[in-house]
Structure 1
Amino acid sequence: MNKPIIILGNGGHASVLAEILILQQRDILGYTAPSEEANSYGVNYLGTDKIIREYCPKEVELILGLGTVRVSTVRHSIFEKMKRQGYTFVTCIHPKAIISHTATLAEGTQIMAGAIIQPHVQIGENTIINTGVIIEHDCLIGAHVHIAPGTTLSGGVIIGNESHIGPGSSIIQGVEIGKKTLIGAGSVVISNIGTSKKAYGVPAKEV
């Protein structure tokens, strides 16, 4: 049975998730934020994240509405904190995404409209696959990753935990991106990039 959902956050990314949940006819209890803000979907303000403790972990699910524009540990920290308290996170998939039945999606994965996930792809927990992303066969995507809109990953690409792949990037087959690495918007990655690096350009080079 589907449980009521609490959205953590109320920014732009949270609004995209709210629309997906509404399309899926899920019950949204409300959102949490430091203070009450306008919400175009009429979602109720519950309070700060501390209010979540008033809901039994067995009776609700959470969805993390915080997006990222660079490498960040914030999503990872919030996810792990709530998991330690016994809460679970919704795996949220837009109905217009195309996902192979052989793909593996971990808890809290968020897949937006127009994304295509091909056979034998593995996606780690709390990872965002944003609008129009194409992930070809046999890619391995780590946990707490954000693959921004319009990105294309060819077959067999590996993305390390907490990395951020900027919008419109292309990564050729077999390339490995290390953990906590930022790939700049519009980059074309044709060789491996290490851990905790920044890389930009066509072709992408570490900076």
Structure 2
Amino acid sequence: MSKPLIIIGGGGHASVLVAILKKQHRDILAIISPDDISGRASIADLPHLCDDEEIVRFATEDVELVNAIGVVPGSSLRRKVSEYFLSKGYRFATVISEDATVSDFAVIHNGAQILTRAIIQPGVIIGSHSIINTAAVIEHDCRIGSYNFIAPGATLCGDVLTRDNVFIGAGATIIPGIHLDKSAFVAAGAVLVNSLGAGEKCYPVKTIIK
């Protein structure tokens, strides 16, 4: 039986996750966010707590957490929050939209989030706490590390390997067999045809208008 959920974060990513979870009739006990959530329709009706430390009011065995903090390139906040509460004994729920296509032959690790219309093909491994955003495509045999962010509409062709903390921007395309080492960055709209080392960045070619 699924445990009740505590949502960490009150921004746009939280509103998307909560909409998915409500559609699945999950029991959400509270949103934890220092920000005003009244303007976000999907979360405004939920109990609102303002401090992360209020999570400890809930016993580790009674709830699961959902890390709904959005991702900014180069920021480690989301990972730090997850690791802090993992060290306290909490478990993070895996969120998979019913409108995503996930192969029975893929492996999704704990805390990962697969959003609406994402496609996860056979042989894929999605690392813990990674986000596969709206309409992203992860083709066969890709191996995605932990704490990755794959933005809306990105396409990873077959047998791509990413290490931890990789960021792939909206609409980017990664050709087959490419490796991205930890903290590599691919900007929105880029086409990556060579592997990236740790911390390396790829940007799209500038448009020239004549």
Superposed pair shares fold, TM > 0.5: yes
1:46 maps to what in 2?
49
Q: Deviations over 1:126-176 (max 9, x none)?
A: 000000001111000000000000000000001110011000000000000
1:95 maps to what in 2?
98
Give me the whole-angstrom Cα distance separating, in 2, the residues matched to 1:168 and 1:69: 16
State the one-letter code of the partner of 1:55. Answer: F
Give the unaligned 5+ runs of structure 1. Answer: none
1:19 maps to what in 2?
19
Kindly indicate whether residue 160 of structure 2 is the aligned counterpart of residue 162 of structure 1: no
TM-score (norm 1): 0.95
- Secondary structure of 1:29's aligned partner: strand
Give me the whole-angstrom Cα distance separating, in 2, the residues matched to 1:52 and 1:46: 9
Contact map agreement 2:108 2:127 (CA 8 A) in 1: yes
Cα deviation for residue 71 of structure 1 reads 3.0
Q: Using the aligned pairs only, state the percent identity.
A: 41
Contact map agreement 1:178 1:195 (CA 8 A) in 2: yes
Give me the whole-angstrom Cα distance separating, in 2, the residues matched to 1:72 and 1:141: 19
1:37 maps to what in 2?
37
- Higher mean displacement: 181-190 or 71-80: 71-80
Cα deviation for residue 43 of structure 1 reads 1.4
Cα deviation for residue 36 of structure 1 reads 4.4
2:152 maps to what in 1?
149
Contact map agreement 2:10 2:35 (CA 8 A) in 1: no
Give me the whole-angstrom Cα distance separating, in 2, the residues matched to 1:139 and 1:196: 20
Give me the whole-angstrom Cα distance separating, in 1, the residues matched to 2:47 and 2:19: 14
Work out which of the residue numbers 120, 124, 128 in structure 1 matches 2:127.
124
- Secondary structure of 1:144's aligned partner: coil
- Secondary structure of 2:6's aligned partner: strand
Work out which of the residue numbers 57, 65, 81 in structure 1 matches 2:68.
65
Cα deviation for residue 73 of structure 1 reads 1.4
RMSD (Å), alpha carbons: 1.2
- Secondary structure of 1:201's aligned partner: coil
TM-score (norm 2): 0.94
Give me the whole-angstrom Cα distance separating, in 2, the residues matched to 1:121 and 1:37: 35
Distance 1:71 1:28, change over 3 A: same
Cα deviation for residue 75 of structure 1 reads 1.3
Cα deviation for residue 35 of structure 1 reads 4.5
Give me the whole-angstrom Cα distance separating, in 2, the residues matched to 1:83 and 1:103: 25
Kindly indicate whether residue 203 of structure 2 is the aligned counterpart of residue 186 of structure 1: no
Give me the whole-angstrom Cα distance separating, in 1, the residues matched to 2:135 and 2:86: 29
Contact map agreement 2:11 2:37 (CA 8 A) in 1: no
- Higher mean displacement: 162-171 or 68-77: 68-77
State the one-letter code of the partner of 1:22. Answer: K
